[in-house]
Amino acid sequence: MNKLKELLAPYRGLRREIYIIFIAKTVNAMGAFVFPFLTLLLNDKIGLSKSETGFFIALSGILYIPSSLIGGKLSDVVGRKKIIVIFETLGILCYGSCCFLQPNMYMAYLLILSGVLFGLAGPAHDAITADLTTPEERQGAYSLNYLGFNFGYAIAQLFAGFLFEHNLKLLFLIDAATGLLGITLIAIFIGETINNGSVEITEDRKMEKKEEGSIFKVLFSRPTLIIFSLALFGYRFVYSQWSFMLPMHAKSNFPIDGAALYGILGTFNATIVVALTPVLTSLFKKKSNVKRVFYAGILFTVGFGLLGFISTKTAFFVSVFIFTLGEILEAISVMPFIMNHTPANHRGRMSSVLPIIMGAGFTAGPFVMGQVLEMTSYAFSWKLCAVIVGIATLWMIRINRRIDNEGVMEQKVTVEDVAYNLE
């Protein structure tokens, strides 16, 4: 009983709205069928080559950049809730529209448009969670959000592979229906939190105190955030292969049941997240956010690199288990670290600018590895991924030393100082 209380401790005592967000994310993820199968949809159903598929996924990532910047600014000016409700509803309607189409390029364009709309809403999600929590609560709150999504996702992936192969229209319909239900919960039960940014913040949270000026002025006063985000680029580059290279590899190795295998792996991934997120949150609670991300990098290196040496069905499951542990540690650490060092009135913009740097890895990953696959093999490509994320992991040691040497990031620096630290 004491162990159970200890595991649940980070999730207790949070504001009611955080639990509503948890429920909304769970419901929404119960219909998360489309995005995990986007690669196979473009490659298998629409008939694009590996490189063309990589290009379209990269294009979606490129379009995310302006949409996220605009969404971050709007969430700091118009409001978090309004942006989430408006743009996610429009994105969900794009999914719903695909019910009436056969797999073709018009469907691909609609899915890219939906990605842009969700990109507009993304920064508001991180900002609204930060508005509703203190630094001490943030690891638990972001962990709970992550847990809710993956609980729903685990349920969705039980049926996703079957629906992808046998009833694509129903796949889109369920995704749209659960998305609308989730956004309705937010619309009804959560108030606007933008004014929370003007609430007086205590001296021990001085990095969150309101600051005047542009987001870039704020960002360059916190160079460690820039270096941290650049290192995360490597993590995201490799993690993007979970939805790009891994499903194609599974389909290549097992032509008959590759799609079903990928769906099962998705359920396996989400089940691990649901079962072990509280455990890892508790086990690593005394470690700093940066140290947890360092350990995540080691797990990514081993997990993804494994497929470069062996790719049996058992190896796929072992790989997913290992890198999912890394996924958990990264997910519960990145945004708390960023939000703990962001002025309250810049949360939306910081939640757009830094994820653009980090998320560029998601954009570059499919495009670059699509080209590499055309010229080499899956084995070589996975080994290359292990090298990339291994280098990024070593950066975390440098970042941790910088933080230890400077204490809290108070030093004002110039662009030249940032460049020097990246050498």
Dist CA 388 CA 382 (whole Å): 10
Which residue did the predictor score with more confidence, 14 or 270? 14
The answer to whether residues 308 and 379 touch, using CB atoms and an 8 Å cutoff, is yes
Helix/strand number for the chain, H first, E second: 18, 0
Dist CA 222 CA 145 (whole Å): 26
Dist CA 218 CA 76 (whole Å): 14
> What pLDDT does 404 receive?
66
The pTM score is 0.73
pLDDT mean over 305-321: 94
| pLDDT reading at 36 higher than 70 | no
Dist CA 108 CA 116 (whole Å): 13
Least confident range of 144-158, 268-282, 305-319: 144-158
Dist CA 329 CA 143 (whole Å): 9
pLDDT digits (tens, 9 = 90+) for 152-178: 887 887 777 778 878 888 888 988 999
In 46-167, alpha helices (H): 50-77, 80-97, 105-131, 135-166
| Residue 188 pLDDT class (50, 70, 90 cuts) | very high
| pLDDT reading at 408 higher than 70 | no
The structural architecture, per CATH, of the domain 13-194+213-422 is Up-down Bundle (1.20)
Sign of torsion over alpha carbons 342, 344, 345, 347: positive
